[in-house]
Chain A
Amino acid sequence: MIDYTKVLSSTVVDIKPSGIRKFFDIANTMEDVISLGVGEPDFRTPWQVRQAAIRSLDLGATRYTSNRGLEALRAELSRYVLRKYGVKYDDEEEILVTVGGSEAIDAAIRAVTNLGDEIIIPQPSYVCYEPMVRLAGGTPVIITTKAENDFKLTKEELSAAITDKTKAVILPYPCNPTGAIMEREDIEAIAEVLRGTDIIVISDEIYAELTFGGARHVSVPSVADLRERTVLINGFSKTFAMTGWRLGYACGPREILSQITKIHQFAIMCAPTVSQHAAVEALRNCDAAVERMREEYDDRRRIIVNGFNRLGLTCREPKGAFYAFPSIQSTGMSSEQFCERLLYSKRVAIVPGTAFGDGGEGFVRASYCYSTQHITEALRRIGEFLEEIKRA
């Protein structure tokens, strides 16, 4: 009989499963749960995109594409990134189509990491960075961003984290779960710290099209001289409500992109062909559909933020992504306690901030990828819960 504890990679075994998953496994066993847990658009993929996919199937376009992705898609991406973010990437050598933004993040981390290299990760942030760095043999260096800085990464924090082993810094903005964005001057400050170093930036801009309140997304490589050291990562899931299509992309200097492409070539070969055909349509003809979704998210954002503040849970204005990140410190509970008790007593599922790193303690994440009625009902139940714990 095999002793499995001995055959498995200790690096893999030591990785903790996602804290979000654990929590929702409990929620899924309960009846009448109202969830603000899902970080996935509730909108359907715009019909013209679905139609383009069907058309490609009708034409039998079901073979592999080139490793880098369909030529037409890369050409369209080159135009799109220039049009939206003002950065020019060569569609032949500087753009790679990947299986979701996730694959691009993983491959980018692996392409730059040697054993023991330090990769800086601001937290609270999306759960994948730390395990990916570990799997690549790197050492994650966590910076805990602060609520009073609106969870932005400051140049002081970054400077303090840099050592001679620092290889790269991940910039996860607009940020899941905090809703933080980095404005131009914030990115310029980061550029100042990095100038003259060999530190690479891996900029995960998957929520780029979801910024609110007049703040438009500023793409990291569009600022100062950051382009030469940045791998820009984006995808179709959030912007175009295309989560299940598994399509993302990486852009960057050819010297880095060619290495990322090697990883992709051997591990993945190419992104799904049908999704790539659909994505061409998304980039060409879906600005209006994206804007409609963004406006709807904005309405919900205002309702949920106002709702939490009214209930006495201080909630800073999230300027990007689709999450509210209110503080629950006034209740005296830990994030996990709060979410667990809320789930059991009122059947509302939200995610403890600690699922996104220790820096998330004292906060909870509520997604607003839900109808306003759904959000209002969840807030009503949370209000009841707060009343009850006050009385207890």
Chain B
Amino acid sequence: MELCDAKNRKILALLEKCARMSSADIAAVVDLEVSEVDARIAELERAGVIRGYKGVIDWEKLDSTKVSAMIELKVTPKAEYGFEEVAAKIASYNEVETVYLVSGAYDLHVVVTGKTFQEVCNFVSRELAVIESVTSTGTLFVMRRYKELDVNLLGDTDDGRGKIFI
């Protein structure tokens, strides 16, 4: 089995869309035995192609708060290491959900989450902003989430169908 054969690509596409899809359903789609699907997924996990499985949760439904902010960081790259060293350091914080190196007006795009606005502020000002190679931070708090990881969070479940049955 080639790691990137067509069946594996299809399995990955299905899992990317819904990580909870059962092996039986995946097997039906890719036309393999369930055990073979499980073996392939295990192999893809071992090879580090599948990096994790996450849920898309609307915490607001439970009145729990989760505050997220996107932080635009300007960074002075280091000789030899470039952005790697500082990116690795930032990625090591539990508060940090995402770290991207981006093109444009700033260098690192960091998503930080916390329980409160204050918690996120403190983290940015006391941890991120003081990192030696960080020259500036711009913080954009998320005010409302409409769509995340391809999932519509607007809550309009009625798609308008069912007026005519054919």
Contacts and interface: CB of A to CB of B under 8 A. Distances in A.
B44 interface: no
Contact of B162 (A23, A24, A306, A351): A24
Interface stretch (B14-22, B71-79, B97-105, B128-136): B14-22
B165 A307 contact: no
Nearest to B31: A302
Interface residues of B, number: 16
Contacts of B18: 372-373
B130 to A, nearest CB: 45
A376 interface: yes
Given A42-B159, A372-B18, A376-B22, A351 B29 contact: no
B164 interface: yes
Contacts of B161: 38, 40, 42, 369
A40 B24 contact: no
B165 A20 contact: yes
B47 interface: no
B8 to A, nearest CB: 15
A310 B165 CA distance: 28
Contacts of B159: 42
Given A38-B161, A40-B161, A42-B161, A372 B25 contact: yes
B62 interface: no
Main secondary structure of the interface of B (DSSP, over half): loop
B28 A24 contact: no
Contacts of B143: none
Pick the most buried of B14, B22, B25, B164: most chain A CB atoms within 10 A of its CB: B25
A259 to B, nearest CB: 26
A21 B165 contact: yes
B6 interface: no
A307 B26 CA distance: 11
A35 interface: yes
A23 B165 CA distance: 10
A23 B162 CA distance: 12
Which 8 A-B residue pairings sit nearest by Cβ, starting from the closest? A306-B28, A20-B165, A302-B28, A39-B166, A302-B29, A303-B25, A299-B29, A38-B161
29 contacts: A18-B165, A20-B165, A20-B166, A21-B165, A35-B162, A37-B162, A37-B165, A38-B161, A38-B165, A39-B165, A39-B166, A40-B162, A40-B164, A40-B166, A42-B161, A126-B166, A127-B166, A299-B14, A302-B28, A302-B29, A303-B28, A303-B29, A310-B24, A372-B18, A372-B21, A372-B25, A376-B21, A376-B22, A376-B25
Interface of B: 14, 18, 21-22, 24-25, 27-29, 31, 159, 161-162, 164-166
